[in-house]
Structure 1
Amino acid sequence: MASASLAMYDFCEPVRQANDALWRIIRDDLTKAGFSAPSKLDRSSRYDALWRREDLVFAQTCGYPYIKQLRGHVRLVGVPIYRFPGGNGIDRASLVIVRDADGIGGIEDLRNRRVAVNDPMSNSGMNLLRALIAPQAIAGRFFSKVSFTGGHLMSLADVLAGHADVAAIDSVTFGLLAAHSPDALKGVKVLMQTPAGPGLPIISRKDATDAEVSVVRESLSRIATQPAYAAIREPLGLVGFEVPDQAAYDALTELEDFALRRGYPVIN
C-alpha cells in the first residue's frame, strides 16, 4: 500500500480540487514508469501522520520538523515556489498579524501581549517568530501569554475573536485566504514579516529510489512551468519548483541558534 498527502494547505475547495488534479498527474506519471502510487490523496489522516511511513510516496512537511525530526529519515524531493507576498524563491517569511482596531504599530507594541502559536514544532508559527522576537526579549520573556492553537486558521480565529493579540501566520496560508476567502481576513492587518527561510518541502520515504524521485520532480517541474497546467497552478499560487540541497534548511537551524544565543529558547 502506498500513501500520499497534500494536507498542509488543503483547507478550501479550490485548493483541494487543484491538489487532486496535481496528484492525478504525478500518480499517472509514476504508474507509467512502473512505480506504485495511491489513486487518491489521503485526507483521513492527520497532516503529519504520513511523514515517516515506510510506504510514503509523496507528502508536504514543515521545514522545522524536517530539520529536527525528519532529515536523514526521508528523501527531500523539492520545494514549491508560490507567488504570494512573503516569499523570495523557496524562502518564505511569516506574516505577523494583529487586529486592525488595536492600534499596534510596531514590534515594541507587542510586548506583554498575548500570542497565538499554531504548534511548538512549526517553523512559520514558532521558529521564525522566535527569531524575530529574540532581540526584544528580556530575561527570556516578551509576551504575557502563549496559547497553542493547533493550526494557522485557529490562530487567526483566536486573534479575530480577541483571545490572542498577535500570531505569525504562514504566508502561503495567508495568501490562499486572501485569494479564496478574503472575508476571513477582515479585521486583521499584517504588522510585519518575520525573518525568512526555506518553505515547506515535498518529501518521500527514505528508500525511495532515484528513479522514482526523478519522476516526481519532473512532474512537479512540468506542472509548475508549462502553460497547459495553468489552471492547476492558479488556485495554488504555484509559480515554480526547485530542488535545493538539504543544506539549504540549515538556515532554519541558524535562526533557532540565533534565538538561543539571545536567551530566548521558547516563545514566552
Structure 2
Amino acid sequence: MTAGIASLGMYDHPAQQAANDALWTALGEALRRRGVAAPERLDRTRPPEAIWRDPALLIAQACGYPLVTDPDLDLRVVAVPVYAVPGCAGARHFSHIVTRRDDGRRGIADYRGARAAINAATSNSGYNLFRAAIARCAGRTPMFAAVIDTGSHRGSVAAVAGGDVDIAAIDAVTWAAIARFEPEAVAGLRILAATDSSPTLPFVTSRHTSRTTLALLRAALDEVSTAPALAETRDTLFLERIVPASIHRFAALRGLERDAARAGYARLQ
C-alpha cells in the first residue's frame, strides 16, 4: 500500500517546524496502527496550494475560502482545530487589522486613500475577512490607493512595518506565532481592529479518500489532540484540540463574499 501525502504547511513558522514534525510523527504512527499507510515525513517541497490538488493527499490543512469558491479543489473536510489564541474559541478564528504604531489614524474609515497589503486574493483571513470589514465603510467606492499582494501574512507584516503599505489583515493564529517567536517583527505595529470571526482552517483529505479512511483520520487526529505526551508540542502550535467537521461549516465564507458584493465592494480596492 502506497503512503499518501501529508502537509501541515499553513501554520509552519520556522520556530514551529519541529513541533509540526513531532505532531506528524505521532499522527502518522496513530494512522499506521489503524491500518492506514502514512508517509514518514511532511511534504515541505511544495506550497500548500499545490499539495491540496494532489490526488494522493492523505491529510493537510487548507484555507476554507478556496474550499468553497474554487470548483477545481477536490477536497473533503476531516476536522477543524481549536486554537488557544484570544478570540479564537470554538473552532473559530479571525484576523487582526494592523497598522504601524506611529500611524495616528484611529479607525478603518480613516484609511481611505491608504495602501493595503493582502497575502493572496484567495485567502480568507488576509482577503475575504478584510474585504468584509472594508465593505462596511467603503461606500461602494474604492477605499485604497493601492492593494499589494505580498504572498504571505509574514510578508504583509513586513510590508506594514517597513512602510511599504499602511494596513493589512493578519490571521490571528499567525499573528500569535510571530508575536511569540519574532516579537521584533511586530514591535512597531499595533492592532487597529478585528474582523468578523470564521471557522478555523480545516484539516482536509483528497475527495478520493474512502469514508473508512476518513473515519480513521478523525480518530487519529482526536488521539493526538488529547495525548498528554504532546502537550508541549500542541502549546508551540497554539493547538487546544481538534474536532470533526464537514464542508458545510464553511458556507458562511461564501456569504461574506456575497455580502461584500451586495454592498458594491466585490473586490478589495
Answer whether TM exceeds 0.5 for this pair. Answer: yes
In structure 1, what is the Cα distance between the partners aligned to 2:32 and 2:222? 18
| Shift in Å, 1:85 | 2.4
Contact 1:65 1:122 in 2 (8 A): yes
Q: Deviations over 1:117-137 (max 9, x none)?
A: 010100000000111011211
Structure 1 residue corresponding to 2:6, chosen from 4, 7, 11: 4
SS in 2 for 1:96: strand
In structure 2, give the amino acid aligned to 1:51.
W
In structure 1, give the amino acid aligned to 2:150.
T
Contact 2:67 2:73 in 1 (8 A): no
Q: CA RMSD in A?
A: 1.5
In structure 2, what is the Cα distance between the partners aligned to 1:204 and 1:84? 25
In structure 2, give the amino acid aligned to 1:196.
S
Alignment partner of 1:181 is 2:177: no
SS in 2 for 1:240: strand
Contact 1:85 1:175 in 2 (8 A): no
Q: TM-score, normalised by structure 1?
A: 0.95
| Shift in Å, 1:48 | 1.0
| Shift in Å, 1:157 | 0.4
In structure 2, what is the Cα distance between the partners aligned to 1:65 and 1:165? 26
Count of aligned positions = 267
In structure 2, what is the Cα distance between the partners aligned to 1:240 and 1:142? 38
Q: TM-score, normalised by structure 2?
A: 0.95
Contact 1:30 1:212 in 2 (8 A): no
| Shift in Å, 1:70 | 6.0
More deviation in 160-169 or 67-76?
Answer: 67-76
The percentage of counterpart residues that share the same residue type is 38
Alignment partner of 1:246 is 2:247: yes
In structure 1, what is the Cα distance between the partners aligned to 2:34 and 2:83? 28
Alignment partner of 1:266 is 2:267: yes
Cross-structure match for 2:58: 57
In structure 2, what is the Cα distance between the partners aligned to 1:232 and 1:78? 19
In structure 1, what is the Cα distance between the partners aligned to 2:110 and 2:211? 50
In structure 2, what is the Cα distance between the partners aligned to 1:225 and 1:70? 34
Cross-structure match for 1:95: 96
| Shift in Å, 1:240 | 1.5
Q: Deviations over 1:132-169 (max 9, x none)?
A: 01121133311111000100000110001100000000
Cross-structure match for 1:190: 191
More deviation in 160-169 or 180-189?
Answer: 180-189
Cross-structure match for 2:106: 105
Structure 1 portions without partners, runs of 5+: none
Cross-structure match for 1:131: 132
Alpha-carbon distance change, 249 to 87 in structure 1, aligned in 2, over 3 angstroms:
same
Contact 2:118 2:149 in 1 (8 A): yes
In structure 2, give the amino acid aligned to 1:3.
I
In structure 2, what is the Cα distance between the partners aligned to 1:197 and 1:26? 26
Q: Deviations over 1:209-230 (max 9, x none)?
A: 2222222222222222232320
Matches within 5 A, 1:202-241: 202-241=203-242
In structure 1, what is the Cα distance between the partners aligned to 2:245 and 2:71? 16
| Shift in Å, 1:28 | 1.2
In structure 2, give the amino acid aligned to 1:4.
A
In structure 1, what is the Cα distance between the partners aligned to 2:225 and 2:57? 22
